[in-house]
Structure 1
Amino acid sequence: MTRLDTTLSVLSVPRSADLAALTLRLGLGAVFLAHALAKPLVFTMPGTAAFFAASGFPGWTAYPVFLAELLGGLALLAGFRTRLVALALLPVMAGALLVHLPNGWMFSGQGGGWEYVAFLMIALGAQALLGDGAFALGRRQRG
């Protein structure tokens, strides 16, 4: 491979699969960042802790969940350790699934149903399988 070929391959347009992984990664990152920021900015952290306690979890777990969503969302947006972050967020979503499971299927129902949480879990699994995608900090160049 010549120096020109190497330069052109680095400058080439990302493949559609890489763009799809990027799109999913950015969407998931935005959702997790929004969910994290809603805790202190909308519900307050004491209010979030009270909700966790009312849902059967220790109130203090609101704080590590907030951090997981915040740091996980930022990592996904940046494309940093995408596979690991997607897998690490699955237990957080499993906890959310337990909260929403008794409320029925539709998330628009009273108390929010479980379909949105289940979809996020499937999307995280897909992201873990796909990896970083284009324009990621953790991206390795194909050679």
Structure 2
Amino acid sequence: MNLNTAAYSALLLRLSLGLTLLAHGAVLKLGTFGLAGTMGYFGSLGLPPILGAIVAFGETAAGLALIAGVLVRTASLLALPIVLGATFVHAGNGWVFNAPGGGWEYPALLAALLVVQAGLGAGAFALEPGRLLGRRAAAQAA
């Protein structure tokens, strides 16, 4: 794979992950269920209800960061405990995610993809602060 293809592949992964996290955080947990509903659900699982708020806002923030291409490695690694937690919560439901209660393979796949994204970095069309500063420094040096 040449460098140009890798940059666009990282972009596709970044946008896919970002949209998925944003949909789960902002649309589902904050929108459809509402913050109180999300916190109540986490409480019903025996987890601290505040964790529901942390997850909802964490998914939303990580999704926005990935879409924008800002702090991509950090956002990917910070979202990792969220999807690993989801994997653990769904583990007892079996493998297939369309099983009652959802299975574990979808959040496990998201975990693997977040690790890959953290390794690849932002890819093309990112707003990474270091990348922008590097371009300015290169332009000033020329």
Structure 2: any 5+ residue segments left out of the alignment?
none
Q: Distance in 2 between matches of 1:105 and 1:132?
A: 30
Which residue is 1:30 aligned to? 19
Which residue is 1:52 aligned to? 42
Equivalent of 1:21 in 10, 15, 23: 10
Q: Confirm whether residue 42 of structure 1 aligns to residue 32 of structure 2.
A: yes
Equivalent of 1:114 in 99, 104, 107: 104
**How many residues are treated as equivalent by the alignment?**
130
Structure (1 or 2) with the greater helix fraction = 2
Q: Confirm whether residue 71 of structure 1 aligns to residue 64 of structure 2.
A: no
Which runs of structure 1 show a deviation greater than 4 angstroms over 4 or more consecutive aligned residues? none
Aligned residues with identical type, % of pairs: 45
Structure 1: any 5+ residue segments left out of the alignment?
1-13
Partner of 1:35, secondary structure, is helix
Return the offset for 1:56. 2.1
* Larger Rg, first or second structure (1 or 2): 1
Equivalent of 2:93 in 91, 100, 103: 103
Q: Confirm whether residue 80 of structure 1 aligns to residue 70 of structure 2.
A: yes
After superposition, what is the alpha-carbon deviation per residue over 1:65-105, rounded to whole angstroms, capped at 9, x for unaligned? 11111110000000001011101101111111111000000
Q: Under a length normalisation based on structure 2, what TM-score does the superposition of the two structures give? A: 0.87
Q: Distance in 2 between matches of 1:56 and 1:116?
A: 22
